């Protein structure tokens, strides 16, 4: 599988085609996103451009969220294993590394190694696919990581429960939340894979 560099490229314009393909190929998803957001009502070329860009970003986020859930679903319940990076057992950064690897994006093992990569993201601007980091030990440094899914949810390898979906609003995680990082190449890879699937369906 090809590995992506950290250089991003423009968001594909065929997102609605990809979304349609996604609905066909991901019937086993945990839930389907609503991609029929209320249409914009532009009053000029500049506003129309901004409106289209906003819709594309929202649709891309829905596609990424659903695809991550599709890929991650078989691993929910996988036991926690310190240093683990395979379905035999994951630690937190081993799971994020494994998941990103499914989309051709290579990450190092270790939450402190992952937190220095990507682009910083404010909590109120989180999108599906962003990595969310926590200072569990309250020492002023990262000690846990998960993948944001949208709707204040994340999927991660919990020390006690293994791979689970939890809420960022849970008092425990809200109290220990540290920062988040975005990897545009993850979105690009997800969309590229779906585009390829759509092309294969037409052949």
- Residues annotated as part of the active site: 92, 144, 156
Q: How far apart are CA 143 and CA 115, in angstroms?
A: 10
How far are the Cα atoms of 24, 78, 136 from residue 32, in angstroms, in the given order? 11, 23, 32
Q: How far apart are CA 129 and CA 154, in angstroms?
A: 9
Q: In what order do the strands lie in the sheet with 144-150?
A: 119-120, 177-182, 131-134, 144-150, 153-158, 162-167
Distance of CA 20 to the CA centre of its chain: 19
């109290």: which residue's tokens?
175
């Amino acid at each position: 599988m090809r590995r992506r560099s950290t250089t991003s490229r423009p968001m594909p314009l065929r997102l609605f085609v990809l979304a349609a393909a996604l609905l066909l190929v991901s019937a086993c998803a945990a839930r389907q996103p609503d991609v029929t957001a209320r249409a914009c009502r532009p009053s000029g070329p500049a506003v129309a451009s901004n409106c289209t860009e906003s819709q594309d970003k929202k649709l891309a986020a829905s596609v990424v969220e659903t695809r991550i859930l599709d890929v991650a679903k078989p691993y929910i319940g996988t036991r926690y294993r310190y240093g683990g990076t395979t379905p035999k057992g994951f630690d937190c950064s081993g799971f994020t590394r494994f998941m990103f690897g499914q989309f051709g994006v290579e990450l190092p093992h270790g939450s402190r190694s992952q937190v220095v990569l990507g682009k910083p993201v404010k909590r109120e601007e989180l999108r599906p696919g962003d990595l969310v980091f926590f200072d569990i030990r309250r020492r002023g440094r990262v000690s846990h990581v998960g993948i944001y899914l949208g709707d204040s949810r994340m999927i991660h390898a919990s020390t006690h429960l293994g791979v689970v979906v939890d809420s960022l609003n849970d008092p425990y995680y809200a109290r220990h939340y540290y920062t988040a990082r975005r990897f545009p190449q993850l979105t690009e890879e997800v969309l590229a894979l779906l585009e390829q699937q759509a092309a294969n369906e037409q052949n």
